[in-house]
Amino acid sequence: MIINVENLTKKFGNFIAVDNISFSVVEGEILAFLGPNGAGKSTTIKMLTTVLKPTSGRIEINGYNPVIKKDKARHSFGIVFQDSSVDDELTAYENMMMHAVLYGLPRETRQKKIKDLLEFVELLDRKNEVVKKFSGGMKRRLDIAKGLLHRPKILFLDEPTQGLDPQTRNHIWEYIRKTNQEEKMTVFFTTHYIEEAEKSADRVVIIDQGKIIAIGTPSELKAQAGKDNLEEAFIELTGSVIREEKADLNRDVMKRFRR
């Protein structure tokens, strides 16, 4: 198991964002964390990637506990955050170089790897342009290229294709799947697009209000819910009540509270 999570909980004050969840991910697998807004997807990914400290529970990333062995765990994964994490005032190439140095890529291979990845995300011809001038989709592609640069064993993607057009979305997934197959890179991604989970993931974890509701392959989930498409199965399993406003409100309140 490359990711192992046992009884993981995260509380912000009285608000339980992630409620005692357990799951594991096999090496080379593509796993989708599917859930409505405010379900606890991002909080989970933040705990797995050393951004947030869990309130309780155990995590193992590539054999390391990210709370204690932060740097070892950090070497094992790449992450594409929900919001872009590129430096607007640097060029695409400089952003990649910064990442290469931060992750200790050997000097000899840096330039070639950066060039290859920029070529793949079709930004090579604009590598010397300051990122400020890029569109949202271009920035997203750069984010993903950055996340892949140090060939991580695990790639975390937090809502990777949100706000992207279908062409870009397809293109990005093509590359992620290719890397996944060629290098046995494990992929953990969160999404609220059902079709993205169904199309790209080997297994899907459905999470709602901080709790895991179901885990399985898309066809298993459909069978479990007795529905013939994943969208109906998802609604069957999570209920059809729109609760995201409340969840979002809670998050807002928490944000203010933490300031």
Partner 1 sequence: MEVIYILWLRQIKRYQRSKARVIGSLGQPLLFMVAFGFGFGPIYQKAGEGNYLEFLVPGVIAMTILFSSIFAGLDIIWDRQFGFLKEMLVAPVSRLKIMFGRCLGGATTAVFQGLIVLLLSFILGFRLANYWLIIPAIVVMLLIAFAFTLLGTGIASMMKDIQGFQLIVNFLVMPLVFLSSAFFSLKDLPGIIMLIMKANPLSYGVDALRGILIGLNTFGLLYDFTILLSVVIIFLIAASYFFSKIEAD
| Site residues (vs partner 1, CB under 8 A) | 46, 49-52, 70-72, 74-75, 79, 81, 83-90, 94, 97-99, 101-104, 130, 146, 259
Among 32, 29, 41, CA closest to 2: 29
Residue 102 beta carbon to partner 1: minimum distance, rounded to whole angstroms: 4
Joined together, the tokens standing for residue 59 give 């995590």
Nearer to partner 1, 65 or 224 (CB): 65
Considering the complex, state which of residue 126 and residue 177 has its C-beta at the smaller distance from partner 1: 126
Cβ proximity to partner 1: between 227 and 251 the closer is 251
Between 74 and 169, name the residue whose CB sits nearer to partner 1. 74
Mapping DSSP onto H, E and C, the string for the chain reads CCEEEEEEEEEECCEEEEEEEEEEECCCCEEEEECCCCCCHHHHHHHHCCCCCCCEEEEEECCECCCCCHHHHHHHEEEECCCCCCCCCCEHHHHHHHHHHHCCCCHHHHHHHHHHHHHHCCCHHHCCCEHHHCCHHHHHHHHHHHHHHCCCCEEEEECCCCCCCHHHHHHHHHHHHHHHHHHCCEEEEEECCHHHHHHHCCEEEEEECCEEEEEECHHHHHHHHCCCCHHHHHHHHHCCCCCHHHHHHHHHHHHHHHC
Using the minimum distance from each CB to partner 1, give the nearer residue, 152 or 218: 152
CB of 83 to partner 1, least distance (A): 5
Least separation in angstroms between residue 210's CB and partner 1 is 17
Report, in Å, the least distance between residue 250 CB and partner 1.
Answer: 16
Closer to partner 1 by Cβ: residue 102 or 249: 102
Amino acid occupying residue 244: E
Tell the smallest beta-carbon distance from residue 89 to partner 1 (Å): 5
Question: What is the closest distance, in whole angstroms, from the C-beta atom of residue 204 to partner 1 in the complex?
Answer: 26
d(CA 144, CA 242): 31
Q: Which is nearer to partner 1, 70 or 184 (CB)?
A: 70
